[in-house]
Amino acid sequence: MNPRFLPYVMILPVTLFLCLFFIYPFLLVAKQAFDVDGSFSLANFQEVVGYWKFPISMKNTLLLALAVVPVQVVLALAMANMVTKMKSGRDLVLYIWTIPLGISDLAAGIIWLAIFEQSGFLNSMLHGLGMVDRPVNFLTYNNPGIVFLAIALAEIWRA
């Protein structure tokens, strides 16, 4: 075999895998999104946009992105700056910082639930410090700001 073609032969299995399991299903879903009764239509998108919860969901998603992304960028730059200036212990710090990436979304959700629930770590700490007399309901519809903050903190931590 000509050595010039070796790199292309080496990436062929991965390329086929990506095409078969990612690109082909994506194209099928995109086709189905624009297809109603065998013809091109935007009716599916109009139905989604017309759903009464869509504006609220879109607003919350945009607010979350506006709150989380700048904090993540600043933290990433600060962490990168810190690591480049480190003389020793760099590998350990990088390893510790990658731990949240190895935790599944379900496990991360359970961890954050254990922190914010009524009998969780945060309420135990606040009660132990004498800051509250009884547990605070953080994750309820009565406190949408605190729920938003909890979601933002979880997103920032995962990044």
Q: Which domain holds residue 64?
A: 55-159
Question: What is residue 36's three-state secondary structure?
Answer: strand
Q: Place 21 in a pLDDT band, splitting at 50, 70 and 90.
A: very high
Residues 91 and 139 in one domain: yes
pLDDT exceeds cutoff 80 at 31: yes
Residues 90 and 143 in one domain: yes
How much is the mean pLDDT over the chain?
A: 91
Task: Please tell me the distance from the alpha carbon of residue 97 to that of residue 79, in angstroms, as a whole number.
Answer: 9
Residues 117 and 64 in one domain: yes
Summarize pLDDT for 34-68 with one digit per residue, the tens: 999 989 999 999 999 999 999 999 999 999 999 99
Integer CA distances (angstroms), 102 to 29, 110, 118, 136, 150, in order:
29, 15, 27, 31, 20
Q: Place 28 in a pLDDT band, splitting at 50, 70 and 90.
A: very high
Residues 101 and 154 in one domain: yes
Mean pLDDT of 70-81: 95
Q: Which phi-psi region, left, alpha or beta, contains residue 130 (left: φ > 0; alpha: ψ -120 to 50)?
A: left
Residues 135 and 75 in one domain: yes
Nearest to 44 by CA among 56, 59, 29, 55: 29
Domain count, the chain: 2
% helix, strand, coil for the chain, step of 5: 75, 5, 25
Q: Place 87 in a pLDDT band, splitting at 50, 70 and 90.
A: confident
Decide: pTM greater than 0.85: no
Residues 44 and 64 in one domain: no
Task: Please tell me the distance from the alpha carbon of residue 48 to that of residue 50, in angstroms, as a whole number.
Answer: 5
What pLDDT is stored for residue 35 in this prediction? 93
114: domain CATH number?
1.10.3720.10
For residue 39, list its beta bridge partners: 36
Residues 6 and 74 in one domain: no
Residues 103 and 145 in one domain: yes
